[in-house]
Structure 1
Amino acid sequence: MALAREKRLPPLHLSLKVPSRAAVQEPEAFRHPNPPPAAVPQSASTPLARSSQFRLADFDKLAVLGRGNGGTVYKVRHRETCALYALKVLHQGDAAAEADILSRTASPFVVRCHSVLPATSGDVALLLELADGGSLDSVRSRCGAFPEAALAEVAAQALSGLAYLHARRIVHLDIKPANLLATTTGGVKVADFGIAKVLSRAGDHCTSYMGTAAYMSPERFDPEEHGGHYDPCAADVWSLGVTVLELLMGRYPLLPAGQQPNWAALMCAICFGELPALPDDAASAKLQDFLAVCLQKDYRKRASVAELLAHPFVAGRDVTTSRCALRRLVAGEA
C-alpha cells in the first residue's frame, strides 16, 4: 500500500532538519512586546494595501536565512530606516496563495507580512517581520532539549496562533519546529504558509496530501480509511504534539535515534507505532497528558485547540517563569 501511495502523491519533505477583518483580543500575557518598525504604520490593512510603501531596490540582502522547494528567505535591511526584515522570494505560482493567507492575518502569534513585492523573472517577494531568534528547529539544534517551562510557553503561543488561524478557517498543514519562529523576547510565531488552506466554511474537511511526512497525522497518511478526507484542524494539533515532543526529547521522537525517516518507516511509526515512553523525571504528569491528548491516533478523540489552551500544562503555567525560560533558551543562556 505504501508503494502505491508513494507513486501518486506529490513529493514530500522527509528531512527532519527539515483588516478589513477585526483583530482578535489577545490575552494580556501575550501582547506583542515590540511595536512594528517606524517605517510601517501600525494598522490592520492588508499586505497588498501596504505594497506601495516599499520597493525591492530599497533593501540590502544581509544573509540567507533558509532555502526550500518554494524559494529562499533572506535577512534584509531597509536602506533608509535600517530596519531589519525577512524577505521570502517565491516562485509566482507558489506566492499567490501564501500572500492571500497572510493578508488575512494580524496576530502577534503569526508572522506579519508588511508588503508583497514583484521580484525578477516573475517571482514574488514577501516582506516579513524578522523573528530574531530563528526557528525552534535551529534553537533545538543549537541548545538541545527544551526545559519544560519553555515548552509550556511554546505550546501556549503556538496554540494561540492556531486558534487565531482556525477561527478564520485557515489551516496550516505544516506545523513543525522549522515553521515556528522565536524572538529574543520570548515570543513564538507561526510561519511558512506555503501549503496552508482557507476552508470554504468552518468544519470543512481537507484532501491535500502535501506537507512534511514526519509531522503528518495518521489520517493524512491513510485518508481512505476516513472517507478520502480528514479534519485539517485536528491534523494541525497532531503536528503540534509531535513538535512539542521533539523539542522535549531533543530529536525527532517517533523513530529510533538514527533511523532513516523514509516513507515506509514513518507510516508504520505514525499509524501503528506507540508513543515513546518518557521517564517520570523527563516530563511532568501534566506534560505527558498534554502530549497524549494531542497525539491520539483517532482524530475524533484528539483534543481541540480550545481544549489544549485550557489544559493545565498551558493554562496552569507561570507565564513569567515560562516566558523567561524560553527567552533564556533562545538567547543561549539556558
Structure 2
Amino acid sequence: MGDSRLIHGRYRLLDLIGRGGMGEVWRARDESLGRYVAVKCLKPLGAPPDRSSARLLRERFRREARVAAALQHRGVTVVHDFGECDGVLYLVMELLQGRDLSRLLEDDGGRPLPVADVVDIAEQVAEALAYTHEQGIVHRDLKPANIVRLADGTVKLCDFGIARLGHDTGRTSRLTGTGIAMGTPHYMSPEQIGGDEVDRRSDLYSLGCVLYELATGTPPFDLDDAWAVLVGHRDTPPEPPRSHRAELPGYLERIILDLLAKQPEQRPRDAREVARRITAGRTAPAYAPAAVTSRPAPRTRGPVAGGTRLPSWTRGMTTGPKAVGTGPHGTPADPGTGLSGVWTPRPGPDPAGDSLPAPDPAGEPVPGQRPEPPPEAVAALVGRHRAGLSLGRLGRWTEAGEVHRAVAAEREHLLGPDHPDTLASRYEAAFALSRTGRAADALRAYKQVAEARIRALGADHPDTLAARQEMAYALGRLGRHVDAHRVYASVLAARERVMGADHPDTLRCRHNLAVNLGRLGRPEESWRTAREVAAARARVLGPRHPDTLVTRYEVAHALGRLGRWEEALHAYEEVARDRAQALGPDHPDTLAARYEIGISLGRLGRSARALTVYRELIEDRARVQGPDHPETLRARHGLGVGLGRLGRWAEALAEARQVCAIRERVLGPDHPDTLVSRREIAVGLGRLGRWAEALTEYRRVAAARERVLGADHPDTLASRDDEAHCLGRLGRTAEAAELHRGAAAPRSRPVC
C-alpha cells in the first residue's frame, strides 16, 4: 500500500511501522477526528474455496473485532474501528508510543530486564489478563511481541482475538508434518500444542513463558527446532529461573514455575490471583506522610507506602485512602523513550513572530530548521529520563525532580523547547514539585507545559489535557477550588469529546471533579457525581477494580459529609471487604477503609464497637507498616478519641500523650498531625478539670498554627476559640472575650 492511501475515506496511511505473518501495521491519520492512529491491515483473503467460506471469515473477523473494541482497560490496546476495504480487512487502534517486549530485549542485546521491571511488567500484564478473562476473552497468542511498554512504564496487551482469527484464515505457521496450527512455539501451552480446547489457563502458561524470558534472557525451552521446543513444553520441567539468575526474588521464581505447570489445574486459579501474589511480594515504596487536621482535609493520592502497593498499571489512577488527584503518569503516556521517527511541530509562529519553515519532503535541512540530534545523545537522555521515573516510583521525589529538570534543559537544547520529549521531562519535573508539597511552583510549571503542548500538539491532545488536569489538582492543593473546578470541567468536556464518556481517563477526571465539588461545599453534587463515576467504572473496569473501589470510597466519604452516616458506614464496609478480596487484607487501601469504618461508628455513637475496630486496625498496621508509621498513629489517635467518647478520659489522655510524643519525634513539633494530638491532650486535661494545664497546651497549638499557617487560617482561628473557651472555664472572662473578638474579626472580613 502506498503511504498516501486513504482507507474507507477516513484513515490516511502514512508510515509502515510493522509487518508480520498476518499483515502490516501503519501509522495513519484519522482525517475525521484529526488524530493519529495505528491501522492493522490483514493480508487479502485471496481465493477461498467458495463464497460461503469467505463470508464466514469476514463475519468471524467482524465478531472478533467487536470483541476487541469492547475491551476497555488501560492495559489493553484500544480498538477504535474496523472494516474491509478493497478485500483488505483492517483494524484501527490507538497509536502506542513505546516498544514491544521483544524489541526491548533485542535492543538490550538479549540481556534480561532489571528485576524491578520484570515485576512491574508481570503485575500489569496479570491485571490486564484478569480483566479480559473476566470478560470471557482468551488471548491465545500471548508473547513478548504482543506486549508493548509505553514511555511512562504502562504496559499494553495487543492483538486480542486476532490470533484466533489467524487460525481460521490459515495464516499461522505450521510445524512440518504435525498438522497442528501454531502460534509461536516458545510461548505455547501444552494443551495448545496438543490441539485441545484452551481456556484462560493457557494464557497463564504463556505469561509464565514471557516472564521467564524477561527474567533470564531466554525462553524456558530455547532449543534448536520447533519440535524440540514443543516436546520441552509438553514433557520437560523448566529449569528454575534462579539457576540462571541468582538475584531473582524467590516469590517471583515460585510464581513463574507455578504458571509453567504442565497441567492447567496445577496453575494459579486465575490471573487475579497471580496479580495479588505479585503485589504481595514486591517491595513497598518509601512513605510520604499525609497531613491530618481536626476537620476534613484533602488526603494525599498516588501509590500508598507501607506494606504492599497497588498494581503498577494503576499509576495515574486515583488511588490511596482518599485520592483527589490525577496521579503520577495519570494520563496517556508522555513521550520519553526518545525519537521514534521525525517529529514535525505544528505550523505556526516562532517566538520571533515568523512562520516556522515546513519540513523539506526530500529530507534536506531547511534553513533555520534544527539539525537532527545525535542518536547516542538522545538515547542517553532516555536512560536518564527513565531513572527519574524510577526515583519517583520509589518516592524519592526531590531527587526525581532534579533529574527531570536537568534532562529537560538538555532536551530543550538538543531537541527544542516544544519537542514532546522536552515537554515530557518538564511535565515530570512539575509532578515532582507537586509531590514535594510545592503546589504553587508545580502550578506554574504545569501551566507552561500546557501552553507549549497547545502550540505543539493542540488543545485537545491527551498530553495537553494531562497537563491541564494536573493544573487543576495543584489549584485544589492551593485551596483555589473554584479555579480548579473550572479547569476540571473544561478538561472533562474535552476528554468526553475526544475519548468518550467511558474512557478511563475521562472517568478519572470526573472522579476528581466530584472530589473538588466536595471541597467547594457542594456535597450533594459531589455524592451524585461520584456515584455516577462508580457505576461507570464498575461497568468499564469491573466492580473490584482499584479505580472503582476508590470512587466507591469517595461515595462513602460524600455520604459522611451529608450526615448520612449509616449509609456511609455500610458503603465503607463494602469497600473494605472488596479491597481485602481484590488487593489483600493488609493492603494500605484496605486498611484505610477500615479506619473510616471506625470514624463512621464513632459518628453514629457506637464507640464501643469503634474501639474494637481501632484496636484491630492498630495491630495490623503496626505489623504491616510499623508502630511509628503515621497511619498506625492515626489509628491510635482514633482509639484515644473513642476512649474519650466513652468517658474514659484518663485512658484517653494517656493515649494522646503517647501518640503526640511519637508524632513529634517522627514528624516534627509543628506537623499538623502532631498539633492535632497536642490539642487532644488539652481536651483530655480539660475534661479532667485540669484547665490551667489545658490552657498551656491550647496556647502551644495556637502559636504553632499561627506560625505555620498564618493568623487568619481557619485552624488557627479554631485554636484561638479553644484558648478562649479554656480561659472562660478558668473565670478569666475578659481575656476570653478579647480572644473571641480577635478570632471573629477575620471571619467577618469581605472576601476579595
1:291 pairs with 2:263: no
Deviation at 1:209, TM superposition (A): 4.9
Contact 2:112 2:216 in 1 (8 A): yes
C-alpha separation in 2, matches of 1:104 and 1:59: 21
Aligned to 1:211: 183
Are the counterparts in 1 of residues 69 and 81 from structure 2 also a CA contact under 8 Å?
A: no
Q: 1:195 aligns with which of 137, 145, 163?
A: 163
> Whole-Å Cα distance in 2 between the matches of residues 232 and 261 of structure 1?
26
Q: Structure 1 residue 128 and structure 2 residue 104: aligned?
A: no
Verify the 8 A CA contact 1:271 1:297 in the aligned structure 2: yes
Give the direction of change, closer, same or farther, for the CA distance of 1:167–1:80 in structure 2 (3 Å limit): closer
- The structure that is strand-richer by fraction is 1
Given that residues 192 and 198 in structure 2 are in contact (C-alpha distance below 8 angstroms), is that contact kept between their aligned partners in structure 1?
no
Report what 2:748 is aligned to: none
Structure 1 residues 80, 220: CA separation in 2 closer, same or farther (over 3 Å shift)?
Answer: closer
Residue 63 of structure 1 is matched in structure 2 by: 15
The alignment partner of 1:195 has SS state of helix
Give the letter aligned to residue 185 of structure 1.
Answer: D
Closer, same or farther: CA 88–196 of 1 in aligned 2, 3 Å:
same
Shift, 1:281, TM fit: 2.6
Instruction: Give the TM-score taking structure 1 as reference length.
Output: 0.68
Distance 1:58 1:220, change over 3 A: closer
Instruction: Tell me which protein shows more helix as a share of its residues.
Output: 2
Q: 1:110 to 1:217 in 2, by over 3 A?
A: same
**Please, which of 89, 102, 126 is the counterpart of residue 41 of structure 2?**
89
Contact 2:62-2:83 at 8 Å conserved across structures:
no
Secondary structure, aligned partner of 1:310 = helix
Aligned-residue RMSD, C-alpha: 3.0
Percent identity between the two aligned chains: 26
Following superposition, the deviation at residue 114 of structure 1 comes to 1.0
Residue aligned with 1:103, SS: helix
2:77 paired with 1:111: yes
> Are the aligned partners of 2:152 and 2:336 in contact in 1 as well (CA < 8 Å)?
no
Asked if 1:245 is matched to 2:199, the reply is no
- Matched residue SS, 2:201: helix
Contact 2:14-2:26 at 8 Å conserved across structures: yes
Consecutive unaligned residues of structure 2, counting only runs of 5 or more, are 1-5, 46-56, 166-179, 286-302, 304-308, 316-332, 339-381, 387-752
**Residue 212 of structure 2 is aligned to residue 271 of structure 1:** no
TM-score (norm: length of structure 2): 0.32
> Using the alignment, how far apart are the partners of 1:131 and 1:282 within structure 2?
32
Q: Matches of 2:280 and 2:113 in 1, distance apart?
A: 19
Deviation string for 1:97-149 (max 9, x for gaps)?
A: 431221321111111011124322x2122110011102111111112321111
Distance across 1 between alignment mates of 2:276 and 2:164: 25
- The 5 Å alignment of 1:160-179 reads 160-179=127-146
Cα deviation for residue 330 of structure 1 reads: 5.9
Does the 8 Å CA contact 1:170/1:196 hold for their aligned counterparts?
A: no
Structure-2 change in CA distance of 1:245 and 1:179 (3 Å): same
2:152 aligns with: 185
Give the residue type in structure 2 aligned to 1:260.
D
How many residue pairs end up in the alignment? 259
Distance 2:229 2:33 in 1: 47
Q: What is the SS of the residue equivalent to 1:286? A: helix
Q: Give the AA of the match of 1:216.
A: M
Deviation at 1:220, TM superposition (A): 2.1
In structure 2, relative to structure 1, the CA distance for the partners of 1:299 and 1:105 (3 Å cut) is same
Question: SS state of the match for residue 293, structure 1?
Answer: helix
CA contact 1:72–1:88 (8 Å) conserved in 2 = yes
- Partners of 1:119 and 1:230 in 2: how far apart? 33
Q: Structure 1 unaligned segments of length 5 or more: list them.
A: 1-53, 198-207, 224-228
SS in structure 1 at match of 2:70: coil
1:111/1:129 contact within 8 Å kept: yes
Superposition deviation, residue 56 in structure 1: 4.1
Residue aligning to 1:8: none
* C-alpha distance in 1 between matches for 2:125 and 2:25: 21
